[in-house]
């Protein structure tokens, strides 16, 4: 029996063009999202406890994603009617209305995104893809089925990507780094003259480790 290759988009790649059916109707990804950042996340299955907690957590942070000009899209290989029944259950039982679309992926889509993990059966893994307004893959996270995601980290990573694009790299645990707080790291000098000037122009520890205030 032939085994399909396990593929996934890599950082910097164009996000694969997907024509999908969602709980909000047909959608072309990333075409319909052009001009916005997006967070596409897969879940193993509807009507499962960990996934339910994740959907509620994503929805509870929807305003934070909106403020970052980012669209949320859920995805699993469950059919649309299952997604609809599940979000209706979440609203009825937990009082949370899921306002973002959920994709009904088929096996081909799941394989193209590397969401069907070898040895894990037909359930999709917990993948997170962050794409930018040009449809480029900027961040990929993979979690095992047994561990729910940290939504605050996804919001943080999205904001960090936007800051780094505009201002420079950000440190560990940004914006609460132990050494430089929410400051932004200045790119390393590429010549001797610039290296000598770095500590005169910026605060830092060495010519290759200088930083500047975050522009709000």
Strand partners for 1: none
DSSP 117: -
Cis upstream peptide for 146 (omega within 30°): no
Q: Are 212 and 182 in contact (CB under 8 A)?
A: no
Q: Which member of 27, 40, 51, 90 is catalytic?
A: 51
Read off the tokens for 114: 């590397």
Q: Are 102 and 83 in contact (CB under 8 A)?
A: yes
For residue 73, what pLDDT is reported?
Answer: 97
Read off the tokens for 103: 């994709």
Beta-carbon contacts of 87 under 8 Å, excluding residues fewer than 6 positions away, are 23, 55, 97, 98, 102
Fold of 18-165: Glutaredoxin (3.40.30)
Q: Are 163 and 170 in contact (CB under 8 A)?
A: yes
CATH of domain 167-216: 3.30.1020.10
For residue 91, what pLDDT is reported?
Answer: 98
Coil/strand/helix, residue 40: strand
The answer to whether residue 51 is catalytic is yes
Could you tell me how far CA 89 lies from the centroid of its own chain?
A: 25
Model-level pTM? 0.91
Delimit the domains of the chain by residue range: 18-165, 167-216
Rounded Cα–Cα distance for residues 47 and 44 (Å): 10
Rounded Cα–Cα distance for residues 114 and 118 (Å): 10
Residue 88, Cβ neighbours under 10 Å: how many?
12
pLDDT in tens, the chain (216 residues): 344 555 678 899 999 999 999 999 999 999 999 999 999 999 989 999 999 999 999 999 999 999 999 999 999 889 999 999 999 999 999 999 999 999 998 878 877 887 765 555 556 678 999 999 999 999 999 888 889 999 999 999 999 999 999 999 999 999 999 999 999 999 989 999 999 999 999 999 999 999 999 998
Rounded Cα–Cα distance for residues 186 and 212 (Å): 7
Element (H, E) at 106: none
Q: Which residue has the tokens 């979440």?
A: 90
Could you tell me how far CA 93 lies from the centroid of its own chain?
A: 28
For residue 24, what pLDDT is reported?
Answer: 97
């Amino acid at each position: 029996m032939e085994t399909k290759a396990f593929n996934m988009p890599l950082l910097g790649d164009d996000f694969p063009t997907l024509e999908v059916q969602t709980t909000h109707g047909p959608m072309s990804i990333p075409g319909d999202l052009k001009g916005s950042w997006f967070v596409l996340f897969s879940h193993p299955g509807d009507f499962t406890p960990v996934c339910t907690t994740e959907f509620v957590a994503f929805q509870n942070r929807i305003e934070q994603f909106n403020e970052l000009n980012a669209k949320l899209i859920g995805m699993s290989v469950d059919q649309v009617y299952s997604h609809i029944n599940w979000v209706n259950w979440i609203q009825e039982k937990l009082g949370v209305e899921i306002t973002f679309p959920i994709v009904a992926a088929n096996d081909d889509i799941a394989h193209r995104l590397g969401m069907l993990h070898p040895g894990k059966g037909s359930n999709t893994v917990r993948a997170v893809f962050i794409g930018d307004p040009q449809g480029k893959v900027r961040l990929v996270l993979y979690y095992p089925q047994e561990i729910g995601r940290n939504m605050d980290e996804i919001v943080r990573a999205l904001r960090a990507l936007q800051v780094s694009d505009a201002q420079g790299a950000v440190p560990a645990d940004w914006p609460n780094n132990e050494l430089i707080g929410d400051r932004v790291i200045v790119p390393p000098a590429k010549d001797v003259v610039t290296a000598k000037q770095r500590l005169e122009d910026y605060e830092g520890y060495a010519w290759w480790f200088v930083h500047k205030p975050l522009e709000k």
